[in-house]
Amino acid sequence: MPRLLIVDDEADICEFTREYFQAHGYDVCCALSGSDAFLVLSYFTPDVVLLDIKLPDMSGRLILKYLRRRYPNTKIIIITGLLRACDTEKANTFGADLILSKPLSISDLREAVAG
């Protein structure tokens, strides 16, 4: 079963995304802050991470750097309302595999996570 971690301070996005991916066979954990994400990562090893860069207690970039060091094969998808373009080149400058701009569609999320 693939493991997905969603790190986003918008509870509605976490809940909707968690429910969708659980219904499609994923083991899913959610974190609403950076400190929550680090707590989850102490017991949950994700295959894919959906990571908001703007969190209430820290930059998502700190989490991204940690993930790249600790889990180099984990797919990291930045989800943000701060960037308008979605492209791999921009994602690489962040150290991520992909960037998705909010608002998110479920088809974009499904394709990004599965692809």
Q: Where are the domains of the chain?
A: 3-114
pLDDT more than 90, % of the chain: 68
Cβ(52)–Cβ(12) below 8 Å: no
Residue 95: pLDDT band with limits 50, 70, 90 = confident
Segment 80-85 mean pLDDT: 64
Strand order in the sheet with 75-80: 27-31, 3-7, 48-52, 75-80, 98-101
Residue 26 backbone phi and psi in degrees, to 5? -95, 150
For the entire predicted model, the pTM comes to 0.90
pLDDT more than 70, % of the chain: 89
Instruction: Tell me which range, 19-23, 93-97, 104-108, is most confidently predicted by mean pLDDT.
Output: 19-23
Class of 3-114 in CATH: alpha beta
